[in-house]
Amino acid sequence: MTRNRSLLWFFAGTIFTSAFLLFLVQPIIAKQILPWFGGSAMVWTLCMVFFQSVLLVGYAYSDWITSHLAPINQGRLHGAIIVASLLSLPIVVGVDWKPHPTDDPAYLILGLLLVTIGLPYFLLSTTGPLLQSWCALTIQNATVYRLFSLSNLASLLALVSYPFFIEPWFSTLVQAISWSWVYTLFVILSVVSIFFFTHHPCCTEGIGSKENELKGEKPTVKMLFMWLSLAGMGSWLLVAITNHITQNIASVPFFWILPLGLYLLTFVLCFERKGWYDRRRYALPLVLILVISAWGLQDGRILYNLYWAVPLYLGALFLLCMFLHGELASRRPALGYLTRFYLMLSLGGALGGVLAGVVAPWIFSSFYELGIAFVLIGLLAALVMRSLGQSAMVAALVVMMACGWFFYRQVEVGYASSRVLMRNFYGTLRVLERTTPESGLVVRSLIHGTIKHGEQFMANEKSGLPTTYFGHSSGIGLMLDRLVSQPKPIKLGVIGLGIGTLATYGRVGDTIRFYEINPQVLELAQREFRFLGESRAKIEISMGDARLSLEREEPQGFDVLVVDAFSSDAIPVHLITREALAIYRTHLKPMGVVAYHVSNRYLDLAPVVKMLAEDAGMGVVSVVDFREDINFSLNTTHWVLVSRDRELLQSEEFRKSAMEIKEIPGMKLWTNDFNNLFQVLK
């Protein structure tokens, strides 16, 4: 008994450590390579695809060796690979992987991930199902599936730990080295677990009837499909609701932690013990949350309302995942097929994540995957509720049809309220038109997620007026008015095209060079708006990540370089670091200006820019323009101007709107290796 208890503790400790490291390594690796590849969403997506693929391979490996190798050979093979993985440490990406202009970034990212973290991540992914299988063989009456609950608890702890306790205080290099030391501890735990397992009587004397006892009834094709579907819809729902909340409702930093935490919590509860989920108790809440959530997607009073939509869809995620994962837990197979069960869960999770996170942005013009998820969950509920009687199944089918009707209305309303609706890898773009209440002028705007990225009057006599964040009284407006009042031509660089509003400041002889990563933004700026076409300046467009483009270009000699790249309301951190400012300075004239647009609902970025300027030996001024004028399409703005020309920054026009930048106690300089969004939350 004592031996079995010791073995169980080693198994549990190894599984807990592996799950914690598995969840922690993804942001550590991704943050190392973000500055090299421009910090684009492509990096995160490729990382997600890589990690999901390796996880799937790890689960397949666990299923294969438990099905084809004797227990003692399983231990020997796995132990050899575990020890060999130490050669991969530390997980620090070598500078040799830094891309050259001719390199394909996708292949390079996948290659460096494979070499740097491939083997350790593979072994971490095998640990849960493999050790649970060994636990079933060696420990009588062990509640093996509770170890799966434990692994999800470890993942939940890693999720909370990284943004609040690790990222704010440690550089990515320290994170990578520390992770490598903890991985070494995991290897030691694994080797000890393997030693105890291979010296257990089940390995030394054969498993005999124990193997037959564990096998039980072989899962049918129908059961495999249910495992796949239930796991896949949970993953699909997580991605769809996270995207809907963070891109359409509230682009709050760290907000993605809440849906992911709820998703993991449902796994913990459903697999910890049976009492947390009961089909009969969840039937009515399931019906209500499905219908209300589907209805909310086509009702404008709910769809973009922070106070109604966020609790509604977080509640929907929790209740629906309790249903999906509770049904999964109730369909657990005999322990002999445990690894097959986890393989199907992994495959379903990967398919759901890829369909909602990668495929949907390319085939849908808006966020339709959430409405589709509600319909499919209604169908799954109908299949599940058959056990409660025919009337329960019919009721579930009625709910599914109601979700289908609301989805149809969502599509219809979306197209009716938008002049243009487009979507790709970078999010959803909408072109809207409205009429100003007093003047009756038609105004056309571009919306990215929840944030307005520009607005233009359609009347010819007013189409050249700078609007939104770029009015004459804004920080950038004051700077450009000063420059264009002088006879010499200017060269302006702009990171972030929007609808090209700043082009309206251009004169004959001036050059304005825009840097834009999203091809659909360029398409709409040229087709739906007139700032670019009507500008008297020479307009240049550079497509791709701005920082990478500037790093590769010859010095441009900008009088002003505007940093105005935001994805919805979130800042691309790689554009506001010491290394980024060093790149910008190579493209400025000696007394040129970097103008940072830091207007933001959730982050106080001015202290970050001030610290960067002081580190570079440059002057800084913060210009705030308090203005909300719907008739003239002007918004309150906050610009921080940085230049070696301190006399320019202290001139009267800036002093009138200048605001002191309050320092944040304990804040460190932002670099490629370190940043702390948590510290600058308003």
Higher pLDDT, 43 or 664: 664
> pLDDT digit string (tens) for 164-173?
889 888 999 9
| Domains in the chain with CATH codes | 1-213 (1.20.1250.20), 216-417 (1.20.1250), 451-680 (3.40.50.150)
Distance CA 9, CA 579 (A): 47
The answer, yes or no, to whether residue 103 has pLDDT greater than 80, is no
Reduce the DSSP state of residue 7 to 3 states and report it. Answer: helix
Can you read off the two tokens belonging to residue 558? 């900008």
The answer, yes or no, to whether residue 300 has pLDDT greater than 90, is no
- Chain centre to alpha carbon of residue 682: 21
Q: What are 560's strand-pairing partners? A: 492, 593
The pLDDT value given to residue 209:
46
Running DSSP on this structure, what letter comes out for residue 634?
B
The pLDDT value given to residue 45:
72
The pLDDT value given to residue 130:
94
- Chain centre to alpha carbon of residue 624: 31
Report the chain's mean pLDDT, rounded to a whole number.
Answer: 88
Distance CA 145, CA 63 (A): 16
pTM of the model: 0.86
Mean pLDDT of 222-242: 94
Cα dist from 309 to 292, 295, 306, 618, whole Å: 11, 11, 6, 44
One-letter identity of residue 523:
E
C-alpha neighbours within 13 Å on the C-beta side of residue 79? 16
Q: What percent of the chain has pLDDT over 90?
A: 55
Q: What percent of the chain has pLDDT over 70?
A: 93
Running DSSP on this structure, what letter comes out for residue 491?
E
Distance CA 286, CA 280 (A): 10
Largest CA distance in the chain: 94
Q: Lowest-pLDDT range, 168-172, 200-204, 356-360, 367-371?
A: 200-204
Taking Cα atoms as reference points, which of 112, 123, 134, 128 lies closest to residue 81?
Answer: 123
Q: What are 432's strand-pairing partners? A: 445
Distance CA 195, CA 72 (A): 10
- Count of CB atoms situated within 10 Å of the CB of 640: 26
Distance CA 422, CA 680 (A): 32
The answer, yes or no, to whether residue 561 has pLDDT greater than 70, is yes
Q: What are 541's strand-pairing partners? A: 514
Distance CA 574, CA 548 (A): 10
Assess contact for 494 and 564: CB atoms under 8 A: yes
- Count of CB atoms situated within 10 Å of the CB of 56: 17
The answer, yes or no, to whether residue 306 has pLDDT greater than 80, is no
